[in-house]
Amino acid sequence: MTGLTNMSAKAALPASPPIMVGLVALATLILVLAASGRSNAAPLKGTRVTTTRSNLGPILADSSGRTLYLFERDKHGMSACTGSCASYWPPLLTKGAPVATTGVKTTLLGTAKRTDGTLQVTYAGHPLYTFKLDAKPGQAKGEGTSFFGGSWYVLDATGARVEKAAAGAGAPSSAANTGGGGYGY
């Protein structure tokens, strides 16, 4: 019996330090690879909302700098844009509470449940969308357009819609001398 007890005790001894280091490294590698396999399409935490500069002034944007819009047909914080509308005007979705970054007021951020069960980010009660034809940060090709039975507008940090200035209206006095189109560039 004594021989069996000694052998069992030897089998239970911890592995040598080099083997332990190798096992820890292997476990770390497995965890890193598993984490990198996650899709970036749906964030694990709340979607970030920020502000960016555009030819309309400072406006709301997603974490990639894409312009955010409101849809005038939306009522009581609920989206009226589904189906083919949502393919051209993708809703800004989140998996958790949205996160305010530069220039955005946390108190104006919220969420609304869409008919498909996903959570859409809202700002000042307006469900937020991006526009499929905005190819780069700060573009606002959807501003003031009318599609899917309503008008689309960019939002500023107060949650108000931004409208294109009429030709010549609101232009800085230096624009008349520079030919800069009213934006001073």
Counting every residue, how long is the chain? 185
Q: Which of 5-14, 157-166, 171-180 has the lowest mean pLDDT?
A: 171-180
pTM > 0.75: yes or no: no
pLDDT at site 45? 81
CA 146 to chain centre: 24
pLDDT at site 107? 97
CA 53 to chain centre: 17
Q: Tell me the two tokens of residue 43.
A: 């964030």
Strands 48-54 and 99-100: parallel
Q: What are phi and psi of 161, to 5 degrees?
A: -75, 145
Residue 1 has pLDDT above 70, yes or no: no
pLDDT at site 46? 94
